[in-house]
Amino acid sequence: MTGERVTAPTLEPASASRGSIAAFIFKKALISALVALVLFSLMIGIRTEAGPTGQLIYWTRFPELAGMVAAVFAGSIAVELLRLWWGPVGTVMVVPPKVQSALALARRAIAPLLLIFTFLVPVIFYQQRYILDLGILVLTYVMLGWGLNVVVGLAGLLDLGYVAFYAVGAYSYALLATNFGLSFWICLPLAGILAALWGVMLGFPVLRLRGDYLAIVTLAFGEIIRLVIINWQSLTGGPNGVSGIPRPTLFGIPLTPADDGLAAKLGIEFSPTHRIVFLFYLILALALLTNWVTIRLRRLPIGRAWEALREDEVACRALGINITTTKLTAFATGAMFGGFAGAFFATRQGFISPESFTFQESALVLAIVVLGGMGSQLGVALAALAMIGGFELFRGLDQYRMLVFGVAMVLLMIWRPRGLIGHRAPTVYLEHSQAISSDLVKEGHG
C-alpha cells in the first residue's frame, strides 16, 4: 500500500469476533507497553548526573517510568479503538449526494473567499500590529511554498536546500542596496535573476540525480550557501550580517514621517502602520504573482513537461522532451520566486544574518508543500496558514508546542496521505466535458 485508496471496503466480520477484537487490541497494547518499558527503562527509569566530586551518581525514577508505560498502554488502546470506529483506513465512505454537492460548493468557494479575506486583513486588523506582522509572515511562507511547489510539487525534484535561494535573494538585495544604493524595485528583479542563476547552477550537477540522492545534494547546497555567507566576511559581514537595509518605497515615495514621505504628500497623519500595511500588500502581490505565473505555466508545454517529468522520466525521454532544459527551468523558476521572497524578507527586516537561512527553513517550506498536497496551490496556502499561524496560535503551550505540532502532522498524514488537497486539477479541457469526473474514479497504477 502506498497510500492508494482501496475500492472495495473490507467488511468487518460483525459481532462474531467481538471478543477476538478485544483480545487483539489488548495484545497490541501489551506489546507496545513492553517496547516502551524496554526503551524507557534506561531513558527515564535511571537518571545519571555528575556528582560534586566528578563521579557519576545515579538514582532511579520508577514511578515516572510506570506512568510512561501506562500512558503508552492506554494510548495504544485508544488508537486502536479510534481506528475501529473509523473503519479501515482508505475505505470509500458513502456520502449522501446533498452533502457531496455542498462540499463541492465549499471547495470551489474557499479560494475566492480566502483571497477576499486576505485583502481585507489590513482593514480589519489595522489596530493590531501583531496580526499584521503574522499575516506578512504567513504570506512570505505562502510565497516560498508556491515557489518550492514548482520544483517539488510539479517537477517532482525533491529540494531540501530551497533556503539557499531565499538567502541569495535576501543578500542580493541587502548588498546591492547598501553598497550601490539601488532601490528595492530595481533590486527585486535582480534578486530573482541572481537566485534563478543559482538555481541553474545547482541544477547542472544534479541533472542525473533523483529522489534520495537529489535530496542529499540539494541539502548540501543549502548548507554550502550558508557557510559561504558566514565565512565570506569581507562581502557579507559574516555572522554579523548586513544591517541598515533600506526600507521599500512606494515607487520612490518613502513611507517615513519626513516632508517628502507618503503621509505628508497625502496630507494625512503619519503612522508606522502605513509601512506594515504596505509590506502586507507587497508580499500579497508577490505571492499572487507567483501563483499566477505557476498557474499559467502549468497550462503551457513547459509546465506540462514538468509534471510529466515527475510522473515518468523515461517516458519523457521517449517523447523527445529535453530533460535538461525541463529540469533546469524548474529549478530556475522555483529559485527565482525564492529570490523574490528573500529580497522582500531583507527589506522587511532591515537586517539579515546567516541565522535566518538554516536548514530548518528549508524543512519548514518543504513541510508546507507536502502537507498542502504536492502541486496544489490552494493546499500550499492553507498549509502555510496552518503551519505558521497554527504555530503562533499554540504559543501559550510553551515547550509542548512542538509536541502538538508533531501530533497534528502525524494525524494529517494518516487521514490525508496526499496532503490537504491531494487531487490534481487537469489543465487541458476539451470542448465537451465528460460526465465521469476523475475524482470519482479511484486510481490504480496499472
CB of 155 to another protein, least distance (A): 13
Minimum CB distance to another protein smaller for 93 or for 318: 318
CB of 437 to another protein, least distance (A): 7
- Cell 499561524 belongs to which residue? 389
Q: Which of 169, 171, 151, 164 is CA-nearest to residue 224?
A: 164
CB of 6 to another protein, least distance (A): 14
| Cα 439 to chain centroid, rounded | 25
CB of 110 to another protein, least distance (A): 22
Task: Name, in order, each residue with C-beta under 8 angstroms of 87's C-beta and a sequence gap of 6 or more.
Answer: 9, 12, 93
CB of 446 to another protein, least distance (A): 5
Task: Name, in order, each residue with C-beta under 8 angstroms of 139's C-beta and a sequence gap of 6 or more.
Answer: 118, 280, 283, 284, 287
CB of 115 to another protein, least distance (A): 26
Minimum CB distance to another protein smaller for 399 or for 433: 433
Minimum CB distance to another protein smaller for 248 or for 303: 303
Whether the Cβ atoms of residue 390 and residue 408 lie closer than 8 Å to each other: yes
Minimum CB distance to another protein smaller for 246 or for 375: 375
Interaction site with another protein (CB under 8 A) = 301, 304-305, 307-308, 310-312, 314-323, 424, 426-430, 433-434, 436-438, 441-446
CB of 372 to another protein, least distance (A): 16
Q: How far apart are CA 153 and CA 422, in angstroms?
A: 11
Q: How far apart are CA 183 and CA 350, in angstroms?
A: 14
CB count in 10 Å sphere of residue 198? 24
Q: Is 236 strand, coil or helix?
A: helix
CB of 203 to another protein, least distance (A): 16
| Cα 125 to chain centroid, rounded | 25
Minimum CB distance to another protein smaller for 107 or for 317: 317
C-alpha distances in Å from residue 319, one per residue of 5, 297, 316, 430: 30, 20, 5, 22
Minimum CB distance to another protein smaller for 237 or for 303: 303
Minimum CB distance to another protein smaller for 20 or for 324: 324
Beta strands in 161-294, from DSSP E residues, in sequence order = 242-243, 249-250, 253-254
CB count in 10 Å sphere of residue 296? 10
Minimum CB distance to another protein smaller for 36 or for 316: 316
